[in-house]
């Protein structure tokens, strides 16, 4: 069974590779900070804001990211 930290990193990695400016840049920034174990509240909050906006704009389009937005928000808010 995958732990929540690994699950979150996998989801955020997908966002980082998405090519959608709204979520890829904040995701890359979070992953870079996370790899250095210096995730600041500001970087995490920026990512939460971006994922909330992505979910609002595209969260019901039927793509593979739809459920990931919601799961990422649950996991990010639990940090």
The C-alpha atoms of residue 8 and residue 65 are separated, in whole angstroms, by 13
Q: Residue range 60-69: average pLDDT?
A: 93
13-41 pLDDT, tens digit per residue, is 999 999 999 999 999 999 988 666 666 88
pTM attached to this predicted model: 0.89
CB crowding 37-71: b at 16 or more within 10 Å, else e: eebeeebbeebbebbeebbeebbeeeeebeebbee
């Amino acid at each position: 069974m995958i732990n929540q930290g690994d699950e979150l990193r996998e989801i955020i990695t997908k966002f980082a590779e998405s090519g959608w400016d709204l979520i890829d840049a904040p995701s890359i920034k979070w992953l870079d900070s996370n790899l250095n174990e210096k995730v600041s509240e500001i970087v995490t909050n920026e990512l939460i804001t971006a994922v909330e906006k992505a979910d609002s704009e595209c969260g019901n389009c039927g793509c593979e990211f739809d459920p990931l937005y919601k799961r990422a928000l649950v996991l990010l808010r639990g940090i």
